[in-house]
Amino acid sequence: MIKDDSQLTYSKEWANKFTEANRKLRANNEKRLKDPDGWQLTQDSNDALRLKLVAEIEEYEALVAHNPNKQIVLEIENLNYLPDLLIKARIAFKITQEELAALSDHTVDEIKTFEDKNYHNASFVNFLSALDALGIELVDGKFVAVLDDFYKQELVKIRREKSFSKNLHIASNKS
């Protein structure tokens, strides 16, 4: 799962590398004639890896493009990927790790560590507080996320305070 823009850039680079590797492989008739099974296996492997990256790229770009004022239906392959719901909802709602920390009563370092380790290091209570802050619920067998009014208002306050602090810092540096 792609979690940020730097991972997006890296994934795009690798998708292009797999495309280029297959282009070069297709041009290598000697290898194809000498080892047709190995040639095909390499091509298929490159294609599978590229397609996986492309799917992750498309998913991340869709999350980034999501309107944060609307609900989102989140999909996971199985319950082992439950922590991905938190990260996907945070991205779709354009909430930073710092903002999620404030909304869920955690430190920024805790949220960063949770996400880095896919919430495997989070307690059940920690997981639930993030789940609640992001408005994730199971509705008719699908995971749906929508920010409720309380958290929207809290988010506005957090962003105002951050903007005020930033402007205050800029003003004090000009003095």
What CATH number is given to the structural domain containing 81?
1.10.260.40
Residues 80 and 18 grouped into a single domain: no
Which of 7-23 are b and which e, b meaning 16 or more Cβ less than 10 Å from the residue's Cβ?
A: ebeebeeebeebeebbe
C-alpha–C-alpha distance, residues 18 and 24, integer Å: 10
pTM for the predicted model, two decimal places: 0.85
Distance of CA 43 to the CA centre of its chain: 28
Give pLDDT tens digits for 14-28: 999 999 999 999 999
Count Cα atoms within 13 angstroms, Cβ side, for 108. Answer: 5
100, 167: one domain? yes
The pLDDT tens digits of the residues spanning 53-90 come to 999 999 999 999 999 999 999 988 888 899 999 999 99
Range of the domain at 27: 5-65
Q: In what order do the strands lie in the sheet with 142-145?
A: 72-74, 142-145, 136-139
